Amino acid sequence: MNLKFVTLSAENHVGIIRINNPASLNALNSQIISELSVVAGQAEDDDNIYAVVITGEGRAFVAGADISEMVSLSVKEGEEFGRKGAEVFRKIEQMKKPVIAAVNGFALGGGCELAMACDIRIAADNAKFGQPEVGLGITPGFSGTVRMTKLIGAAKAKELIFTGRVIDAAEALSIGLVNKVVPAAELLQSVMEMANAIASKAPVAVRLSKECINFAVDNDTDDSNNTENVLFGKCFGTRDQKEGMEAFLGKRKAVFENR
């Protein structure tokens, strides 16, 4: 596939996915959604990438889905478009590697939904969040109602979705929609510091920890405990576990090999 709007670069062991169509505020059309799927797959398959950052170019993270593409969709086409976006965002959510959203501006509709599909959200202090879809005569798509409910609770999700209200980064932090807010000029530096901190740990252990957490979100305590026990035990078959514990006992810095 000829990639026009989504790119992947790497710094050390951190992959950086950039959505680059600032003229449309990075609005999600079918091509960008498809490119995002391809690039996410590339990041997942690269064994030298231990953590992933997603951000947008220009003054928006993603300002929403492309209304010009959606305006004339039929019922069937609308469902297919929503399903396509939901499948790509689920792919990002289920990546074995941790994914950080660097929210550099508007994250509305599809942009808020993309950010919520990431494991961690760090926002610039000028970022804006919202699900304004009801003002367009549609519901949030791409699993927006599902993830927002899980992240901030049903009551707050209903308030934001029913009113379509856009909130600033400070309010997003206060309700648990984002993990951290930083000055806009320091956003990428702050995100890379966190991504590098994650990448410096045992990659296998980080991946298995993500698997445990994601399983716990959708399952009961007993099943989640069992999954954790199994994956905890799995760590002891890795070289990284031996290295991490031997380095600790030897009072030296661990050098992990991702195996």
Domain CATH code at residue 25: 3.90.226.10
DSSP-derived secondary structure for 129-144: EE--GGGGTS---TTH
Catalytically annotated residue among 113, 186, 243, 257: 113
Active site residue 171: no
- Collapse the DSSP code of 4 into the 3-class scheme (helix H, G, I; strand E, B; otherwise coil) and give the result: coil
The pLDDT of residue 146 is: 97
The pLDDT of residue 1 is: 73
Does residue 259 belong to any structural domain of this protein?
no
Residue pLDDT, tens place only, 225-236? 999 999 999 999
SS3 of 48-109: the string is CCCEEEEEECCCEEECCECHHHHCCCCHHHHHHHHHHHHHHHHHHHCCCCCEEEEECCEEEC
C-alpha 193, offset from chain centre: 17
Please give the Cα distance from 55 to 241 (Å, whole number). 32
The pLDDT of residue 84 is: 97
Read off the tokens for 220: 């009961």
Does residue 238 belong to any structural domain of this protein?
yes
In a shared domain, residues 180 and 60: yes
Please give the Cα distance from 111 to 107 (Å, whole number). 4
Domain CATH code at residue 227: 1.10.12.10
Read off the tokens for 136: 């367009």
User: Which of 199, 216, 232 finishes a domain?
Assistant: 199
Residue pLDDT, tens place only, 178-204? 999 999 999 999 999 999 999 999 999
Active site residue 133: yes
Q: Judge whether residue 121 has pLDDT over 80.
A: yes
Q: Judge whether residue 60 has pLDDT over 80.
A: yes
In a shared domain, residues 85 and 150: yes
Q: Judge whether residue 104 has pLDDT over 80.
A: yes
Domain that residue 46 falls in: 6-199
- Domain tally for the chain? 2
pLDDT band for position 171 (cuts 50, 70, 90): very high
Catalytically annotated residue among 79, 133, 159, 211: 133
Does residue 256 belong to any structural domain of this protein?
no
In a shared domain, residues 86 and 145: yes
